[in-house]
Amino acid sequence: MSDVQVSNKAKWWKSADVKKTAIYWVILTPIIGYVATEVQLRSIGAPASEVMASVKSLMGIFTWAASPVAGLVAALALTSLMGKRHYGDNPPPDADHEIRNSPRAAATWVVVSTLLCLFALITGLIVLQKDSESILDAKAININVTGQQWVWNFDYPESNGVRSEVLYLPVDRPVVFHITSKDVKHSFWVVQMGIKMDANPGYVTETAVTPNKIGVFDVRCAELCGLLHAYMQNKVHVVSQADYDAWLSNRAALEGAA
DSSP string, 116-170: HHHHHHHHHHHHHHHHHHGGG-TTPEEEEEEEETTEEEEEETTTTTEEESSEEEE
Span from 17-25, 105-113, 127-135, 182-190 in contact with Cu ion (CB under 5 A) = 182-190
Nearest distance from C-beta of residue 147 to Cu ion, angstroms? 6
Nearest to Cu ion of 95, 143 (CB atom):
143
Between the CA of residue 5 and those of 19, 142, 171, what are the distances in Å?
A: 20, 70, 69
Nearest distance from C-beta of residue 99 to Cu ion, angstroms? 49
Nearest distance from C-beta of residue 178 to Cu ion, angstroms? 17
Nearest to Cu ion of 130, 229 (CB atom):
229
Nearest to Cu ion of 157, 226 (CB atom):
226
Span from 27-35, 47-55, 162-170, 180-188 in contact with Cu ion (CB under 5 A) = 180-188
Nearest distance from C-beta of residue 51 to Cu ion, angstroms? 22
Span from 38-46, 91-99, 164-172, 178-186 in contact with Cu ion (CB under 5 A) = 178-186
Nearest to Cu ion of 175, 221 (CB atom):
221
Nearest to Cu ion of 186, 251 (CB atom):
186
Nearest to Cu ion of 62, 177 (CB atom):
177
Distance CA 68, CA 7 (A): 30
Sign of CA dihedral 18, 19, 21, 26: positive
Find the binding residues for Cu ion in span 183-242 (CB under 5 A).
186, 221, 225, 232
Nearest distance from C-beta of residue 215 to Cu ion, angstroms? 24
Between the CA of residue 34 and those of 25, 65, 69, 126, what are the distances in Å?
A: 14, 11, 14, 25
Radius of gyration of the chain (CA): 27
Compute how many residues bind Cu ion; rule: CB under 5 A: 4
Between the CA of residue 202 and those of 129, 226, 230, what are the distances in Å?
A: 25, 18, 23
Between the CA of residue 96 and those of 13, 16, 93, 136, 227, what are the distances in Å?
A: 9, 11, 6, 58, 52
Nearest distance from C-beta of residue 141 to Cu ion, angstroms? 24
Residues interacting with Cu ion, by CB under 5 A?
186, 221, 225, 232
